[in-house]
Each structure stands twice: as structure tokens, then as C-alpha cells.
Amino acid sequence: MSMELLFSKIKQLPVIPKLLHELMQDFSNDNAQIQEIAHKIAMDQVISAKVLKLANSAAYRRGAEITSIEQAVIRLGFNSLRSLVVASGIMTSFKTPANFNTAKFWVETFQTATIAKALAKECHAVDPETAFTCTLLHNIGELLIQSALPEEASLINLAISQGTSRIDAQREMLGYDFSLVGAELARRWNLSDRFVAAISQQLDPLSYHPVSQEAVLIRLAMFVSFAWNAGVPAHVIVTRFPSPLAAHLGIQPGNLAECLEELHEQGNALANILTS
């Protein structure tokens, strides 16, 4: 089945909020004014509430309580704010079926994104907030499959419950896995090539040329988060760290061992703020 045919079967694509597109453009505009960005955010009540909640959370709380969007923009900074707006926009774009564990999905996504951000700080090859935002988007193909193709998703989930890997089950049922579906959705949303490449290359980034640095970070972060949630001790995760991927970015995984629990807790806290 061609990708075009696959998407033609989807009755209604999730619509990325206009605010998200506008803000993504503003974040890449060095001349953007704080007041202008704050005004746009203030027009969306849902995102406004989450921005204020994050600005007053334990992770950012400094001094008096923040009561205006403009103050929140200043406290959070453009990059953190971008990540929050992207996350809020994506979360409101998909209507997943009742049997899909949305809370678990977002907790794991935020955990992985938090780890990718920490790894980016180690390698200096990718802006940490860009790594965070790319990783927030890495699984949108899974959301699309679950929300727009419920019958196919049920069969995929059945195959997974019987021992088939998620990727193999999706390729057998659809002809594609979540990474390619997500990359195509990112294209149709007119996201930048950086995001499209990160999503499409994430499963085997070193097989591409040029290699997406963000895709390498996503792959490493997925490995770490999966192992940690499976109960693998931190020192074992570090010793089994995928060497070719780490070497590509010049990452020394030893620094991760002491902060893995903290990184997962940060991801949990952010997921709780955004899903509540």
C-alpha cells in the first residue's frame, strides 16, 4: 500500500493548531517581541493555563507567583515555551480511542524527550530544546495510527500481545511503521525538514546520509528510557549504551548514570502538568 493510499484512507487528518504554526515561526524569528508572543498565547485559553501552571511549577518557581502570560514568557524563556506549546498543540490534535493508554503514552514520551535534552547538553551538536521538541514529535505516527485507523490498530495491538514487535506488526499490517507515518504527517503539517528527518530516521539513523543528529539523540533516548522503565540498573544501561550512536555524537554515557531517576521524574512532572 502506498503512503498516499494509506493517508487517503484516513477520513480526517488531525489539524495542527494555527497558534502552534505561528509560534514556531516566531521562535525562529530573532526579532520576535515578547509582547507579541505573549499576546498570541493569551488567545488560547488551554495553552495559557498550562503556560502559567508550568511557570509556577517547582521546576521554574522563583520569587513571586506569575500571573500574566508575559511574565511567564520571560520566566520560562523562548525555548522552554516552544516545547510546551508544541506539546500542548500535539496533545489536543489527536482523539485516541478509549482503550489506548494516553497517559502512559505521554509520560513515556516526556521521559524520552527529557533524556534527549540531557544528552544534547553532553554532545553540543544539537540545541537541547530542539532535541526535546523533536523527541516530543517522534511518536506522532503512533498517535495517528491509533486515532485514525482504529481497526488496523486493534489488529496491530493483538499481534503485539502475541509477541510480535510493534514495528514488525505495523509493517505487516500497513506496509509502514510509525516512524514513516509520522514523518509523512510532519510533511503534511509543513513542519521543517529537520523535524521530518528526525522522525523518519529515528529507528536506524546511521544508515542515512546525511545523518540526522536529532534522530541519533531520539534513538539513544528511547534506548535509555525503555531500559530504565524495564528495571535495568543505571550502571548496566551505561555499559550497554549503543556505542556507534554515542561515538557519532561524542557522548560519554557515564554522566547519565547518576541522573536517570531525576530525568524520568522531570518527564513525569511535565506530563502531569500538561495532561491535567
Tell me the CATH number at 164: 1.10.3210.10
The whole-number average pLDDT for the span 115-143 is 88
| Band (122; pLDDT cuts 50, 70, 90) | confident
The whole-number average pLDDT for the span 33-49 is 81
Rg, Å, the chain Cα set: 19
Q: 232 vs 74, 235, 245, CA distance in Å?
A: 39, 8, 20
Together in a domain, 198 and 254: yes
The whole-number average pLDDT for the span 143-147 is 88
Strand residues in 22-61 grouped as ranges (E)? none
Q: How far apart are CA 104 and CA 65, in angstroms?
A: 30
Together in a domain, 103 and 179: yes
| 49/201: higher pLDDT | 201
Together in a domain, 168 and 203: yes
Range of the domain at 17: 9-78
Average pLDDT, the chain: 85
- Is 86 a member of any domain? no
- Is 186 a member of any domain? yes
- Helices 102-123 + 128-137 axis angle, to 10: 150
- Helices 45-55 + 78-91 axis angle, to 10: 130
DSSP 3-state assignment of 198? helix
Looking at residue 169, what is its pLDDT? 96
What total of structural domains would you count in the chain? 2
Whether pLDDT at 215 is above 80: yes
Together in a domain, 66 and 154: no
Query: SS in 3 state form for 105-145?
Result: HHHHHHHHHHHHHHHHHHHCCCCHHHHHHHHHHCCHHHHHH
Together in a domain, 229 and 123: yes
- Is 64 a member of any domain? yes
- Is 193 a member of any domain? yes
Q: One-letter amino acid identity for 41?
A: I
Together in a domain, 74 and 190: no
Together in a domain, 165 and 100: yes
- Is 88 a member of any domain? no
Together in a domain, 120 and 55: no
Phi/psi of residue 239, nearest 5 degrees: -70, -25
State the pTM of this model.
Answer: 0.85
Together in a domain, 194 and 65: no
Together in a domain, 120 and 181: yes
- Confirm if 23 and 79 have CB atoms less than 8 A apart: no
| Band (197; pLDDT cuts 50, 70, 90) | very high
Looking at residue 29, what is its pLDDT? 66
Together in a domain, 178 and 218: yes
